[in-house]
Amino acid sequence: MTSGVVVTKSSPVVVRPSELELATLPPVGDTTVALPSFDRRVPPFSVTSLLVFDRAIDKPVETIKAALSRALAHYLPIAGRLDSGAGIITCTDEGVTCDLEDAMAAAPHQTEDLALYYPGLLCRDANPLLLVQVTEFACGGFTVGVTSNHIVADGMGTAQFLHAVAEVTHGVSPPSIVPVRHWDDGADYSSLTASPAISTPRSTIELEARQRLARVDVVIPSSLIGRIKAAEHCTVLEAFMAVLWRCRTRAVTSHAADGSDRPALLNFASIGQLVRLIRRAKEKVPELLLPGKPGGGGGAVPPEQVSRWYEMFNVTDWRNLGLHAVDFGSGVPARVLWHNERTAVPFCVVCPARRKGTGTGDDDGVDVSSRFLKPEHADAFLAELAALAIGGVTRSNEKIRRWVVFPCACAACLLCS
């Protein structure tokens, strides 16, 4: 707990599927779900999202906890446990972990306190597949932090489940969308082994994680994105990826002590050149997914790429997952953030746009949450981004920094910081 903040925090509780809700449903046949080939090849890593609501609902902690229990009755695998050896999820009804917290004072507070995390970088079979923390603020706003094992649901699946929880809070049951197990076709997956593309780096994941990557979350001004789109006739995705790539490369190169982290070829590349490189790379994706291709359907990642983990970074786009439309009773979130405590590889997430009318002045910018920089490179990255934005919207290094610490124990400050 940060000094000066009065936090009332209860012990985590286990939320199981509602017995009353289960009684209204037909009996469950098979209690196991066979994992598809993708989830057998990918390590059980966690993903954390933070939904920020600046409008109050009545008793958010009790309301969401009760709705979570009822929704789990329709999504039994989420309340189960992973058996990675057998490649299945067993519907054990052991439940998910839910934490309840009240932040009552106006003082600095770390955003890392707003979600639960797994003890290790990878989830273990005994861990719940879902962790939920509801934090209520004195102003009436609240946040919902959701950490899940990616094997039980991807981004769209997690959003679908949260919509089901939200529908229950509105009195809708059963939810309008329930899981359909298209993949559970009785096929024999026993001979399927982990891809070399995953098993090679997996052995070094915990070692690399010791080097904590800095949390650097920014808003890329829409004026900058607009200038690039107009000049290069590209998509928003291509534009902001080029911005991130250029600024990160220049920051890392200018501060590298021994040259080991230098992707020097791109140090002086223009934004236009990077956009064209990104576009060509996107065109090659279908071919890379064919069996036997490196990083694709069973091919191995070259060892030199594993050892050069910091020279590349991953980008994923959350703008169309549906997280921005979850409504527990007071409207949709003002903001949605990627909120992982740590990551095995440099990673950044394009977050959904802030809800219009939050009064931040950045409603039409591109929000990016990242852990893709070593701490010693973070300030140089922010300076590069601020310099690149000049010509559209001028920002100082401190102005462009976002979301690292918000100034009071108030949900609204996640909007104005």
pLDDT mean values, one per 10 residues, the chain (417 residues): 54 91 86 84 90 93 95 95 92 91 51 86 93 90 94 94 97 87 49 42 49 86 92 93 92 68 57 92 80 51 62 91 96 94 88 78 75 93 88 41 38 53
Task: Respond yes or no: is residue 327 known to be catalytic.
Answer: yes
Instruction: Specify whether the CB–CB gap between 16 and 93 falls below 8 A.
Output: yes
What CA dihedral angle connects 262, 265, 266 and 268, to 10 degrees?
A: 100
What's the pTM?
A: 0.84
Task: Respond yes or no: is residue 125 known to be catalytic.
Answer: no
Q: Would you state the pLDDT for residue 289? A: 66
Contacts of residue 203, defined as CB under 8 A and 6 or more positions apart, other chains included, come to none
Domain ranges of the chain: 7-183+195-205
Question: From the candidates 74, 150, 324, 339, which is the catalytic residue?
Answer: 150
Tell me, which fold does domain 7-183+195-205 have in CATH?
Chloramphenicol Acetyltransferase (3.30.559)
In 3D space, the residue among 111, 109, 145 whose CA is nearest the CA of residue 3 turns out to be 109
Question: From the candidates 327, 363, 364, 379, which is the catalytic residue?
Answer: 327
As a whole number of Å, the end-to-end CA separation of the chain is 20
Q: Would you state the pLDDT for residue 342? A: 82
In 3D space, the residue among 196, 198, 160 whose CA is nearest the CA of residue 178 turns out to be 160
